[in-house]
Every structure is written in C-alpha cells, then in structure tokens.
Structure 1
C-alpha cells in the first residue's frame, strides 16, 4: 500500500533535527532540510531559510507531503501556519501550550491534513507509554509520568548538564503545571511536590514541571483521579534552582538565567535519559500498580554516536511520522500522543530502537 507521506521537510537541523532527517531517510522517506545557516556534507538535501519570512517557508513546503519542525518552541507556529496554507501534514516537538492550542485550531480548519504536535519525549513518548499502560486497567486511580535527561557522571551541586534547550528547561521550571487532582484539571506551581525515586539503584528526585503532559489532562479528566508529570534530577537540584530563581530574584530574567546555566553546565556526551511511568488502579477486580522504567544511553546509529536526549527525541518523532504515513494513525485531523499505542510505535523502523534498548537492571 502506498504511503500517504513520501517527502518530508525538516525545519531546524540542530542537535535533534539532523538526526530526525537521518532517521526519516533510514525509514525510506525523501528528506529536505532547512536551517537558518547553510549546511553541507549531510546525507540529504539541505537549504538555508529564514523562518521569519512567511513566503519562503510556504515555498519550502509546496512540494512536500509533511513537515517536522525541530525549531525552538516560539518559531513553531509560523511553520504550522505554512503547513496549513500548503496542505502539508505537520509534526513538531513542542511542549509549549499556546503553540499546541494554535495547532489544534489549524487542524479544525483543515481537517484533511494531520496535525501532530508534541512528538518528543515529554510530551510525546512518556504519554504514549502512560496511556498504553492504562489500557489494561478497569479503573485508574493514578497515572504518574517522569522523565529526566541527565549527565551519567554529574558534578557540582546542580548535578546537571544542559544537553537540551536552556530556554525550555527554564520555562518548565517556572511555568505553572496542569495536573489532575480528584479527577479535575488544576494548575499548580512548578518544582513542587518533590519525591524520591530510585532507578537501577540510583537515587533521583522528582518535582512537577510544566508542559510534559501535553493534552493528557483533557483526555483523562473525569476518568483518572490523579495524573501528573515530573522531571527527574539528581538529589538537591531543585533546591539549588529555587535559590537561583527565588532568593536571587531571577525569576523574571529567564534569558539571562539560561545563558548563565549553559555557561556553568555545558552539554556532555555521556548523558542518560530516564523514563519512569506508573499506573495504579484495578485489574481483574484487584488493586494493582504497573511500572515501566527505562534508562537510555548514547547510541551508535549508522556509524555515528548520538547523545541519549538526541536519539530518543528524534526516534519518537520519526516513529509518529511513520505511523501516519503507513495509515496506522489517522492522516487527517488533530492526533494526540495518548492515542498512539506503544506496541505500534515499537513496530516502526525508528521505534524499534526503543524496543531494543533501555532496559534497566540492578
């Protein structure tokens, strides 16, 4: 059966975008990449484009079937609107709520195209795992979702390295978090409700952060008593961040804080991505808790080693493109991450990377 998507544009060829393009090529898509600066010696065609130039973005999408935006969150809406104008299927990695709301609006105006935001790790893969675990329960008391992208060998009081966007990290620490409490949606402060978590004998701490649930609170409202997303860090991290934002009064200087943190804790190659999902409720009339715990290390793909945060994010996004292209997911309308079955994701070329790696042993 012919795929509904054959040619894909990738906007943003940074830490994740280049691998998204490579994995799409590996999954037998024709790929063209776009970045602010010219890129050479890539395994696919690449061109420079100014995303602020609406006409240039629309021109880039006129002869493709789909676009994956790997740009900073504040640039995604321009690409989504260009996809709407040209009829291209749209995918992104955003955790930004206003961006997702705009994508939802566009999907309702052009129902013949697929609009699939939030295809990264959180939101994204973690929601797929949580919803898939929940399928086996008759009644669901709680869904607890946690993700941490960390250095394997931390140093200092923060115990962290900024392998991901500093802008995104600061926002998730400061923006209020949507959760379900007593089955209803609520907004609660970020970096609250801390708890201890152990994965493979390693002690971590977890606290609420914003954006990781995507649309899950809307989907599960009234069906689940408690639902939340927390970020995993090494012990003591959130205390240091509280000192930075509150005691030093830097809450309103997000850009400055981002620059300071990246200079203090630059990216590392030896990172690890921890994923922890748990569902509690009743199965066969009895109370039960099911856990899904993984720890993903850097991975060699086609002779090149990629950081854990890069390949897990890219593989999740490309898996979703594959599922839409192959007709497993709808190729029209708004697609939520929690509508995707984990078993289906594992069946894709890129999803098999998750099936083959990440099991945690003690």
Structure 2
C-alpha cells in the first residue's frame, strides 16, 4: 500500500532531522512534540504524547507514524498505531518493547517495524548482507561506537544519545549465540580491542544491538554477538560506576549524573565495524564492513554523526516500504532489509561514504 502521510513523534535532534529527510524524500510530514516548534519546514502539533486521547487526535488522518520518543513511551504509541491501522516505525533498542510490538503485528493492518535506527537497525542490515556471502558462517561480529572526535577525561565520552537508552544498554543482559547456543550474557563483558583507521577502541557487550538476529540465525551461525565500541578504559570506569557504586539501583539518577558530566558535542564520529568469517567456495574467508561516519550538512544545517546515521537509517526503510521493496504489513526484522536496495534509496545513499 503506497502512502505519503507520516507523523513524526518527538522532535529532538534525531526526530527533527528524520522529519526533514522524510519531507525531502517526498512525504507529507507532520511533527508532533510536547512543545511548540517555530520555523520548522513542516507542520508541527503540540500534544501530550503520554496521553492516549491526545495521541489518537494527533495521529488522525495519518498513514504512518515514526516514534523518536524515549523507549518507554513506544509500547503505547505502537498499540495506538496498530489500532488505527497505521504503519509503525521506531528506533528502540529495548527488547520488551520490541516483543510487545511483535505481538501487535500478528493482527496489524500495516507494517510494524521497530529497531530501525543504527544499532539495532543499519548494523543488522550490513551483518545480514555479509552473512549471505558465505555458504557456512562460523562468526558474525557487529560493533558500533558513537563517540566524540576529540575525547577528554578518563571516560572519553559524550552523551550525544539518550541517557536512558545508554544506561539500559549498559545494564540489561545481552543475547548472543556462542558455539551454536543461544544464551544471555552480562553487559559490559567480553572486552576486546579493535582498531579502526588507526584509532584504538575497546568493545564490550551491550544489550539490544542485535535486535531479532539471534532468533533468525539460530542453527545457522555458530557465533553471533554485538558490542559497543568506546575509547580504552571506558568500560572499567562504567563497571565501577554502576556496580561498585551501586548506581545500577537508580538508573534515572545515573543518567542525570552522566549527562551532567559529559554533555553532547557537535564534532562526533560513528564507527561501524562488522565482520563475518566462514566458508565460501570451499575456502575459509573473512569479510568486513568498516566505516567512520562524521557530521554532514543536511537540509541546510550541520548534523552530528549519531543524529544523521540514526535518522537516515529509519527514513531509508520507510522509503523502501513506500516503494514496495519491503512488506506492507506484519513484523519487519532489520536483517530482512536488503542492503543494496537500502543504499539505493535517496536517504540510504548517505551510508555509501
């Protein structure tokens, strides 16, 4: 079902840019936020998105909704969207939220597509493409790091992403496949060293980055995991903060402390490192997708790397649904999105660099 009317909920850096990219891709966009917004290139409604009646009123007449809200609001948004027969997209890495959306998809008239951001999202699309190049895959390793280009202090970090999301990823258990077995492991473990373009990074387990990939590749890939990349020394300090100081017991306070200490920066970088190993044509081979994405100018303004990579990923998927390249109903797994078609969209082409 072709569609053009899309409501974007939450007009922070990522949501606002996603709305602008959708508009440039030919969609009729309406922004919805708790506060008014002056000077936007698209209509904006002010609404209390925690109120179901207000949410329904804001979505009246729409054909699709993209939620760029904090993950804890997405269950309600998805339920309302499904009840109204709308296509639904979000950026969540939260596993319970995704499970709820998947259950809704069984009776949805439109497509239910969570996890359309960077990780989960684009990194899973890349991983699936690499895996498909082998006859047998022994390992698929997905790594992403959103970092300041010019780190300071011992943490070497800046909170350019939602503090709620980061704390969630650092504390929730992580699903992996190890030696053919699906299992849960603790976050901030399995620390390794990775080098990207001469930059030394450490990588460690965090939750949610694989989305539904463990289910999809169970019995097909012997080893599959996702890790977050940071500058060396970060994970040791975060383990001290959350576990020795017991900040894991108050996630909201932990988020406030960390964002106060490490506010966002404009000059950031997103590292993507995806590697697959296995057998193809009777030989053991390794194939990699390694990129360092930096800020770019979009819609007349400089955009941070984390903002544009996250926004562009979901907009490219929405373009593909409109074009009929992806299903128009049911539940969408990111690993079902073909990388070639993704990169061929107007917005997905940004990832070619």
Task: Please report the TM-score for the alignment, with normalisation by the length of structure 2.
Answer: 0.99
Q: How does 1:325-344 map to 2 (within 5 A)?
A: 325-344=322-341
Determine the C-alpha separation between the residues in 1 that align with 2:142 and 2:220: 16
Decide whether the 8 Å contact of 2:171 with 2:248 is kept in 1.
yes
Q: 1:310 aligns with which of 302, 307, 310?
A: 307
Corresponding residue for 2:60?
62
Tell me how far 1:253 sits from its aligned partner: 1.4
Q: How does 1:145-156 map to 2 (within 5 A)?
A: 145-156=142-153
Q: 2:80 aligns with which of 79, 82, 101?
A: 82
Q: Which runs of 4+ in 1 moved over 3 A?
A: none
Q: How does 1:123-162 map to 2 (within 5 A)?
A: 123-162=120-159
Corresponding residue for 2:220?
223
Decide whether the 8 Å contact of 1:273 with 1:296 is kept in 2.
yes
Determine the C-alpha separation between the residues in 2 that align with 1:140 and 1:161: 35
Q: Deviations over 1:31-73 (max 9, x none)?
A: 0000011111000000111112212211222211100000000
Matched, 1:271 2:268: yes
Q: How does 1:140-289 map to 2 (within 5 A)?
A: 140-289=137-286
Runs of 5+ unmatched residues, structure 1: 358-362
Q: How does 1:41-52 map to 2 (within 5 A)?
A: 41-52=39-50
Matched, 1:98 2:96: yes
Aligned length: 353
Q: Deviations over 1:171-205 (max 9, x none)?
A: 11111100011222100000000000000000000
Q: 2:16 aligns with which of 15, 18, 37?
A: 18
Decide whether the 8 Å contact of 1:51 with 1:78 is kept in 2.
no
Decide whether the 8 Å contact of 1:58 with 1:85 is kept in 2.
no
Corresponding residue for 2:291?
294
Decide whether the 8 Å contact of 2:20 with 2:299 is kept in 1.
no
Tell me how far 1:308 sits from its aligned partner: 0.3
Q: Deviations over 1:247-282 (max 9, x none)?
A: 212221111111111111100000000000000100
Determine the C-alpha separation between the residues in 1 that align with 2:304 and 2:122: 17
Corresponding residue for 2:28?
30
Q: Deviations over 1:117-160 (max 9, x none)?
A: 00000000000000011111000101100000000000110000
Q: Over aligned residue pairs, what C-alpha RMSD do you find?
A: 0.8
Determine the C-alpha separation between the residues in 1 that align with 2:50 and 2:230: 36
Determine the C-alpha separation between the residues in 1 that align with 2:43 and 2:216: 39
Tell me how far 1:336 sits from its aligned partner: 0.5
Decide whether the 8 Å contact of 1:9 with 1:67 is kept in 2.
yes
Corresponding residue for 1:360?
none
**Structure 1 residue matching 2:81: 3-state secondary structure:** helix
Runs of 5+ unmatched residues, structure 2: none
**Structure 2 residue matching 1:158: 3-state secondary structure:** coil
**Structure 2 residue matching 1:235: 3-state secondary structure:** coil
Determine the C-alpha separation between the residues in 1 that align with 2:300 and 2:8: 22
